[in-house]
Amino acid sequence: MNGEEEGQLLNVPVERHRLPNGLRVTLSLDRSVPIVAVNLWYGVGSRNERSGRTGFAHLFEHMMFQGSANVPKNRHFELVEQAGGSLNASTWFDRTNYYETLPSHHLELALWLESDRMGWMLPAMTQEKLENQQGVVKNERKERYDNQPYGDWDERMQALVFPPDHPYHHSVIGSMEDIGAATLEDVAEFFRTFYVPNNAVLTLAGDFDPDDALGLIETYFGEIPEGAPIPPLPGNEEIPPVIGEMVAEEVIGNVPLPRVYLGARVPPLTDEGFHTADVAATVLGGGKASRLYRSLVREKRVAKDVLAYLFPLQTGASLLLFWITGYPGADPDTLRGALLGELEGLGSVTDGELNRAAALTETHLIRSIQQVGTRADLLSMFDQTFDDPGRLNSEVERVRAVTKAQVRKFGQEFLGSENRAFLTYVPGEGQ
């Protein structure tokens, strides 16, 4: 199967397989450059963490580089880099992914390394390694959240937008108390539950022989046993489509400039309304030609910067975020009013703005798939989310199908006063 349909702008080749142990495999051939990307998504993120176990998905991302049965600590990095490749990993609300990009003739190396830590990591897990990574995560928390201006905005915003029993209420980095209390058996249980073939998607993109690659995948991953069924998400996945009221929090502290964040619940990634939310976000805050930037930064000069970003989340709702940063001494109420004025004007969206939003999506996707690493990641995302990696090829058409009437309706339903979470940062004395 190649994932192509007549009339689609994108025609990324897609070949799908599934091993008997449940591992989903996507192959996307591109022989233009002798490079291959290996991308492995596990269907576990912060949403899978139960109370008292927050931050485990991110902690485990760190643990996965501490060695496995046949690969000593730090050797994974050394082997890939010695082969002329690069590698990394990331944790998100809905998944954790691990990836390598390297010369094509080293494909087998990357597959062996990923399979060894999927199938044979537990024998190499020690208390010393756990304590070391607990310390690393705590330091990361201090550097990226606690000691950075506005560093905890996402944690605070999630708590405002999502109720306490929802899987997105807590941050990806989690509670340092939970991280510190984690035992070796806790971590091993997490691994046995989620790091199994039937909870993973493996994507190869780039220059390789499909038959040879599939043979290598079967050799290295095929003997890893299927895990138990993945447990349901903890807490309550079902939430109303909007917050139901305006909620607000003000933080006075170590920030250089006043900044106002506005969050709203919008349809999840799996909902038909997600693309309308995406277009609305682009019209309002996508780049320097967007409404927010033109009006508030260039023309009225009430803001130093302004941004809109749509978090593509899967469970219950996505998060549409805006922020506006004022100049020194700016009144936060003025910033809030200026932002709301633009949001309330979304009903006048034009054909030109819709075309621009679609063009930005098109340009972004075309640039993304030209890089085999990003292409592999996108295919993994569509496979993990929709069980359809070829859906990537029709994304531009979905965005182009959004109408002015849909955007107007979106503004009325999701950008009103009953769906606003304000988070305001104000410089403290002496700032």
For the chain, list the domains and their CATH numbers. 15-221 (3.30.830.10), 245-427 (3.30.830.10)
Mean pLDDT of 394-420: 97
What is the per-residue pLDDT across 326-368, written as a single tens digit (0 to 9) for each?
999 999 999 999 999 999 999 999 999 999 999 999 999 999 9
What is the per-residue pLDDT across 249-306, written as a single tens digit (0 to 9) for each?
999 989 999 999 999 999 999 999 999 999 999 999 999 999 999 999 999 999 999 9
Instruction: Report CA Rg, the chain.
Output: 23
- The three-class DSSP label of residue 250 is strand
pLDDT value of residue 6: 54
Report the distance separating Cα 144 and Cα 162, nearest Å. Answer: 22
Among 296, 56, 298, residue whose Cα is nearest residue 181: 56
* Confidence check: pLDDT of 197 > 50: yes
How many other CB atoms are found less than 10 A from the CB of residue 253? 12
Among 403, 295, 289, 398, residue whose Cα is nearest residue 344: 295
pLDDT value of residue 8: 80
Task: Give the CB-side neighbour count of residue 400, counting CA atoms within 13 A.
Answer: 10
Average pLDDT, the chain: 96
Among 429, 430, 424, residue whose Cα is nearest residue 258: 424
DSSP string, 110-129: HHHHHHHHHHS-GGG--HHH
Report the distance separating Cα 388 and Cα 26, nearest Å. Answer: 10
What is the per-residue pLDDT across 70-125, written as a single tens digit (0 to 9) for each?
999 999 999 999 999 999 999 999 999 999 999 999 999 999 999 999 999 999 99
pLDDT value of residue 7: 64
CA angle 198, 200, 205 (to 5 degrees): 135
Contact between residue 197 and residue 36 where contact means Cβ atoms under 8 Å apart: no
Report the distance separating Cα 50 and Cα 60, nearest Å. Answer: 15
Q: Where are the alpha helices (DSSP H) in 120-268?
A: 127-141, 153-161, 176-181, 184-194, 210-221
pLDDT value of residue 4: 47
pTM for the whole structure:
0.95
